[in-house]
Copies of this chain bind each other. A is one copy, B any other.
Amino acid sequence: MKHYIGVDIGGTNMVAGIVNEAGQTLRMVKIPTEVQHGGEDVVRRLAEAIEQLRADVQVPVEGVGIGVPGFVDHVQGTSVFAANLGWKDFPLAALLSARIRGLPVFVNNDVRMYVYGEATGGAGRGFQHVLGITVGTGMAAAMFNEGRLYYGSGGRAGELGHIALEGIDYACNCGLIGCLETVASATGIARQAREAVERGESTVLAERFPGERVQEITAADVSKAYDAGDPAAIAVLQRTGTLLGRGLATAITLFSPDVIVVGGGAAQAGERLLKPMREELQRAALSFYWKDLQIKPAELLEDAGVVGSGLYARGRLEAGEVL
């Protein structure tokens, strides 16, 4: 069995792991990213972590896949722009490969890595057309079709979080008004709950988070209040699921996936969110888009970035082409 190294680089930590060709992780290591010392320093420490993993596990490794936030040139292996890493046109693949004895290094956007992993080794396995979404701090999406990721111009395709929807009037960080992400995200769920408290609605969240502590409400707290039958929490998740379903109705009409894989922290709200999402999706899209559509929770969970990146390295090496 062949082995690969998958890496997920975030603003705070980077995680690297040895992944076998079946998508199982043999060993993982997490180290702080510490972007303030510059990209070359990040690469140096990542190379050390990779060499340590190889020494520990003692299996031959075929290549490395790295998921990076922001815009990526996956052909050149460069980080074109990553705001929270401070990288611009940073030649990540070349620099890292030179430090790990020339092992091939493949770089892609972190959301595409997650969707690649779910499509080839997770909840989307066996489907031809996979739409993967993450509902976490923010919201993101990517498509995988017939063995390939979908990029679009500049690799910018799939920003489902930034389509404007009727019924949303929040200003988004991106500068637009009414972006889906302002509601359908952990941040958006917490914000709606906070506003319910501030409006003086009768909710257990008002008792649990009195005064200034209202700022501490998280999406998980909203799920807990939902389970206690709290009407305000139920209304928030109902509205969030409905708007997510409305956005997905548009996405499936344009992309026509076989399956939607839902991941990310806020997706842990599960059926509280997915039930109103499905209902709205079926109301707002033509039936032939949803009658055979599967909607599944992500399978790879916390390892998704590492497994996806490892499997992506495998795909790139096997296909001999740019996926």
A-B contact sample (8 more), CB < 8 A, given A163-B254, A176-B284: A145-B152, A154-B256, A156-B256, A159-B253, A159-B254, A164-B250, A164-B284, A250-B254
Query: Do residues B253 and A288 form an inter-chain contact, with CB atoms below 8 A?
Result: no
Q: Does more than half of chain A's interface fall in helix, strand or loop, or is it mixed?
A: loop
Task: List B contacts of A151 (CB < 8 A).
Answer: 145, 256
Q: Which residues does chain B contribute within 8 Å of A157, judged by CB atoms?
A: 254-256
With A153-B258, A254-B251 as contacts: A286 and B174 at CB distance below 8 Å: yes
CB distance from A29 to the nearest CB of B (A): 35
Contact B156 A289 (CB under 8 A): yes
Q: Beta-carbon contacts of A128-160 to B below 8 Å, as 1s and 0s? A: 110000000000000001000011111111111
Partner of A129, one of B153, B163, B254: B153
Interchain CA distance A259-B255 in the complex, whole Å: 18
Q: Which of A227-260 contact B (CB under 8 A)?
A: 249-251, 253-258
Shortest Cβ gap from A286 to chain B (Å):
6
Q: Which of A106-132 contact B (CB under 8 A)?
A: 128-129
Pairwise interchain contact B256-A162, C-beta atoms closer than 8 A: no
| CB pair A128 B153 closer than 8 Å | yes
A249 CB contacts on chain B under 8 angstroms: 163-164
Contact A255 B152 (CB under 8 A): yes
Decide: A254 near B284, CB < 8 A? Known: A128-B153, A129-B152, A152-B129.
Answer: no
- Give the distance to chain B from A229, nearest Cβ to Cβ, in Å: 33
Q: What are the 4 closest A-B residue pairs judged by CB atoms, nearest first?
A: A152-B256, A166-B166, A157-B256, A156-B256
Count of A interface residues, CB-CB < 8 Å: 38
List residues of chain B with CB within 8 A of the CB of A152: 129, 145, 255-257
Is residue A320 contacting chain B, with contact meaning CB distance below 8 A? no
Say if the beta carbon of A175 comes within 8 Å of chain B: yes
Q: Indicate if the CB atoms of B158 and A257 lie closer than 8 Å.
A: no
Interface contact B176-A254, CB-CB below 8 Å: no
Q: Which of the residues B174, B258, B286 comes within 8 Å of A176, measured between beta carbons? A: B286
Q: Can you name the residue of chain B whose Cβ is closest to the Cβ of A152?
A: B256
Instruction: Check B286 against A175 for contact (C-beta < 8 Å).
Output: yes
What separation, in Å, do the CA atoms of A160 and B288 have in the docked complex?
15
Whose C-beta in chain B lies nearest to the C-beta of A160? Answer: B254
Inside 8 A of A159's CB, which chain B residues have their CB? Answer: 253-254, 286
Q: Give the CA-CA distance A225 to B153 in the complex, in Å.
A: 38
Measured between beta carbons, the chain B residues less than 8 angstroms from A174 are 286
- Measured CB to CB, the closest approach of chain B to A290, in angstroms, equals 11
Give the contacts of A156-205 with B (CB-CB under 8 A).
156-160, 162-166, 174-176
Collect the chain B residues with CB atoms within 8 Å of residue A286's CB. Answer: 159, 162, 174-176
- Complex CA–CA separation, A250 to B162 (angstroms): 8
Is A253 in contact with B162, judged by CB distance below 8 angstroms?
yes
**B residues within 8 A CB of A129?**
152-153
Per-position contact with B for A254-270: 1 when CB-CB < 8 Å, else 0?
A: 11111000000000000
Complex alpha-carbon distance, A175 and B162, angstroms: 27
Q: When A175-B286, A176-B284, A176-B286 are in contact, do A254 and B145 touch as well, CB less than 8 Å?
A: no
